[in-house]
Structure 1
């Protein structure tokens, strides 16, 4: 979706009263009405909102509406920026761990793994983004687990960490999300830990919930694409597993069955299940949200055969 046409930018406005502080937004009525049939009905239909040219969205926060407004006018939206609190120095073989500026007693710091001279032996935590770049320089690999991933364009064998980049990319392609690739690449995605990862996850989820409620199909796909891109690039360290579990719980509580973002999280969890199944929060999730547990089991059975 691109910028609205000149015909939509007329002098007919509609007011949204948003959030608990009742912030008022005046927007071009035809721009928002063009997003979906439900929004067109809200703005132009036989309801009191259309008569008063005002609607109250108390269940939508201001940041989410700002992103919706960006999408309505520009076809894209800005994500929450990462707040990195660590500075890492490159580790060389036989070198001591990097020094961290400041005090971070309550933050888990992942180790940076130097590329070995004769292949790899990957263990958590390891940045899958860095690992994929390392692979470009080394042909041979040493892995402690090998899986076969079926039912995609080609069957490949891979280590569990490498699975995420390729598998999620295949999922996006299979679900028609590759056309958003240029948009999601504009977002700078860091692979280090940051204190606001929950905010970065939920900025996509909250906007997705609004898009789903008002059937804004393009935005449903865009929010799912951006979350998929973020999940592909994160470093899965122990604290992050808990964040992922909380994200899944949040999505399944607020989205309908067969929601596209649900499908993404089920697929992503099936890919990483062997690395997160010992996390207490993730185990509680499998018990508390049976539709999620069933979905993950089905994906594992359909797509993955564990070896050795």
Structure 2
């Protein structure tokens, strides 16, 4: 669900992923493999640290018209065979390289053990966290409510499948997240900001790069994995912290009507009884006013109809403030 898993001991060593047997099965790239091998090398200078990576021109030029123009259109980059991306971090570039050669990408596996700091502590008393709150997916399958919020979540996050086609809820979620973090302490991982943040933000940052160069297929993959992460991650205090941090970043790197803006707005709206429980959400809306407007735009008309008719309120019990 959240991406194919491979372990990368170093992000600088890409030689293994340049071999023919690692190329994607996409017909578009398979058909140009001879041209890939004959294409020239392009050097990318990446990030503030100016890390150097060398790739074949053809797989990158094949990703989108803007990248093709950059590498083959007579600009300085194409003449020199060198591209400077100082606003792209190395991990994001390596993920893009995986996609260019394989048609897919996999996140790096975290090597750090989960720890607890003030940022990672849950708001309630107690030592090691227990009894994780449900994910949105787990809560959705468990509720008997059939109001507008149920239909909104079903439509935006579960493709309108409904309860009859549900997967096994929590077992699947826990299995994915255990594998995704690469650690045994599942509960601690779900409450550790340093584990959750990269799981989410690597997809987001790759989406930004794909959006910048109009790599539409990659944007869709990133969106799907962000949606799965949001649906399946338990609703901990740490998840809320990471989401609040990400909203200003998302709005700084995208434009009005962007798909990622819509997705994050829909997630906040779908989980508003959990989200809007303190001063942070009010401060977020004021600091990022476009986000507040998007929330209003995403509210379906059925919400207002239910409000006027006064149905039983759907409350995300057990989610953390």
Q: Give the secondary structure class of the aligned counterpart of 2:55.
A: strand
The residue that corresponds to 1:14 in the other structure is 42
Report what 2:17 is aligned to: none
C-alpha displacement at 1:8, in angstroms?
3.6
Q: Paired residues, what number?
A: 252
1:107 pairs with one of 108, 118, 121: 121
Aligned partner of 2:296 in structure 1 is: 297
Distance 1:68 1:20 in 2: 18
Alpha-carbon shift at residue 233 of structure 1 (Å): 0.6
Equivalence for 1:259: 258
Give the direction of change, closer, same or farther, for the CA distance of 1:233–1:8 in structure 2 (3 Å limit).
Answer: farther
Gaps of 5+ in 1: 87-101, 114-124, 136-140, 151-155, 158-162, 173-184
In structure 2, C-alpha distance between the alignment counterparts of 1:19 and 1:70, rounded to whole Å: 18
CA shift, 1:127, in A, is 3.7
- 1: CA distance between counterparts of 2:34 and 2:116? 56
Distance 2:96 2:61 in 1: 13
SS in 2 for 1:70: helix
For 2:291, what is the secondary structure of its paired residue? Answer: helix
Contact 1:16 1:26 in 2 (8 A): yes
1-side partners of 2:253 and 2:160: how far apart? 22
Shift in Å, 1:213: 0.7
Contact 1:49 1:55 in 2 (8 A): yes
Aligned CA distance change for structure 1 residues 256 and 265 (closer, same or farther; 3 Å): same
Distance 1:303 1:18, change over 3 A: farther
CA RMSD of aligned residues (A): 3.2
Question: What does residue 119 of structure 1 align with?
Answer: none
- Which segments of 5 or more consecutive residues in structure 2 lack a partner in the other structure? 1-23, 123-127, 162-174, 181-185, 313-321
Identify if the C-alpha distance between structure 1 residues 257 and 36 changes in structure 2 by more than 3 Å, giving closer, same or farther.
same
Query: Is the alpha carbon distance of 1:302 and 1:280 closer, same or farther for their aligned partners in structure 2, counting shifts above 3 Å?
Result: same
Measure how far apart 1:299 and its partner are. 1.9
- Residues 1:55 and 2:83 aligned together: yes
Q: In the alignment, which residue of structure 2 is the partner of 1:126?
A: 134
Q: Note if contact 2:42-2:81 (Cα within 8 Å) is conserved in structure 1.
A: yes
Q: Do the aligned residues in 2 keep the contact of 1:43 with 1:53 (CA within 8 Å)? A: yes
What's the CA shift string for 1:212-261, capped at 9, x where partnerless? 11111111111111111100011112232121111122111111221111
Change in Cα spacing, 1:256 to 1:53, as seen in structure 2 (3 Å) is same
**What is the TM-score normalised by the length of structure 1?**
0.71
Q: Does the aligned pair in 2 maintain the 1:242–1:282 contact within 8 Å?
A: no
Give the structure with the larger helix fraction: 2
Partner of 2:317: none
> 1:251-290 residue pairs with structure 2 within 5 A?
251-290=250-289
